[in-house]
Amino acid sequence: MNEAPNPDVCPYCGGKVELVDSSEIYGRSYGLMYLCKPCEAYVGVHKGTDKALGTLANKELRDARKQAHYHFDVIAKTSLINEIWGKYIPGLSNRNKAYLWLSMQLGVEPDECHIALFDIDTCKKVVEISKKAYKK
């Protein structure tokens, strides 16, 4: 996956983004995250680093990403991807195979295909593509 740049300015309100403990959002610590306090947009970081897991997201985008993950994970966290796309790729996990398949469905480069990088419209497409695939 392409690394998302660490945010310093909020794309929603132009506010300063800070690296804070997640307890500021969740009330208990799950690690660090980038947070824009004025508009409550945030993104987590890779454990043990300050590298953003994706792009900064406001509530609307976080909700869209949750929906995309909910439906895509039906495919990615099971062996269902092997029924949907029968191609055998040695050494590739079901999750990575599912993301490769999704990149082809969306017409994006595989290293740019990650829900944490998607906007609302792309998340909606992920939901549609996933539902269509697992309802067959």
Q: How does pLDDT run across 44-65, given as a tens digit for each residue?
A: 999 999 999 999 999 999 999 9
- Domain range for 53 is 1-57
Q: Give the containing element (helix H, strand E) for 76.
A: helix 59-76
Do residues 84 and 110 both lie within one domain?
A: yes
Do residues 128 and 116 both lie within one domain?
A: yes
Do residues 51 and 112 both lie within one domain?
A: no
Q: Give the containing element (helix H, strand E) for 91.
A: none
**Rounded to 10 degrees, what is the CA torsion of 79, 82, 83, 88?**
-160
Do residues 73 and 118 both lie within one domain?
A: yes
Write out pLDDT tens, residues 6-45: 999 999 999 999 999 999 999 999 999 999 999 999 999 9
Tell me the C-alpha distance between 111 and 56, whole Å: 18
Do residues 30 and 77 both lie within one domain?
A: no
Do residues 71 and 99 both lie within one domain?
A: yes
Do residues 52 and 16 both lie within one domain?
A: yes
Do residues 75 and 123 both lie within one domain?
A: yes
Write out pLDDT tens, residues 69-119: 999 999 999 999 999 999 989 999 999 999 999 999 999 999 999 999 999
Domain count, the chain: 2
